[in-house]
Amino acid sequence: MKIGVIGFQGAVNEHITATERAMRELGLSGEAIWLKDDAQLSEVDGLIIPGGESTTIGRLISNAGIFEKIQEMGKSGVPILGTCAGLILLAKEGGEEIKETKQPLLKLMDMKVIRNAFGRQKESFETDLEVPAFGEKPFPGIFIRAPAIEEVWGNVRTLAKSKGKIVAAEQENLLAMAFHPELTSDTRTHQYYLEKVERNTS
């Protein structure tokens, strides 16, 4: 299988490494690639949108002319993992700040997101998260100027909460994390995501 990590800005290499490690752990053959153009989109079985700055990533995806195609892929069932800024881009709705800046969203997941939801004093923190879908062992959550999901509807399933806010969710082929699983050695997020890809391609 081939996974494309949208590679304009953010933690791209870390996602490539974590994805390939998770493939090995699951016994899957495949690779993760640094994705920048339209031609590569046709080659991949899944997409990862990394953390970074959601306004910048959104703008660069539009400039590269692949915004609509990513949207279509998400709608047609191609698995997409969005982390941090990537989570913001997956959302159908944004809070005031997103509305005011007219930031383009892919509008794929039935959720409303807030940027920088954990306030300025606590811009970055690490915490053990309960993620029942990953088993009993807590997941190391690394939050960096993280967003949060304010509201979900439709068939979105909440996967984890922190400080009373939803920080991980899934909806069919889509998986969104407010934290940075690619910065830990715990590959359960990437494994969970690759299982979606495997189901979609087999």
Q: Which is nearer to ligand GLN, 114 or 174 (CB)?
A: 114
Q: Which of these is catalytic: 14, 15, 170, 182?
A: 182
Answer yes or no whether residue 144 interacts with ligand GLN by CB under 6 A. yes
Answer yes or no whether residue 52 interacts with ligand GLN by CB under 6 A. yes
Between the alpha carbon of residue 6 and those of residues 15, 48, 127, 144, 147, the distances in Å are 10, 6, 27, 19, 19
Among 32, 48, 88, 111, binds ligand GLN (CB under 6 A): 88
Among 4, 30, 51, 74, binds ligand GLN (CB under 6 A): 51
Q: Which is nearer to ligand GLN, 28 or 64 (CB)?
A: 64
Q: What whole-number distance in Å separates Cα of residue 136 and Cα of residue 140?
A: 12
Among 6, 47, 48, 54, binds ligand GLN (CB under 6 A): 54
Q: Where would I find the H helices in the chain?
A: 12-26, 38-41, 54-63, 67-75, 85-90, 96-100, 188-201
148's CB contacts (< 8 A; 6+ apart) are 113, 114, 117, 118, 165, 166, 167, 178
Answer yes or no whether residue 53 interacts with ligand GLN by CB under 6 A. yes
Catalytic annotation on 182? yes
Instruction: List interacting residues with ligand GLN (CB under 6 A).
Output: 51-54, 84-85, 88, 115-116, 144-145, 147
Annotated binding-site members for L-glutamine: 52-54, 115, 144-145
| Residues identified as active-site | 84, 180, 182
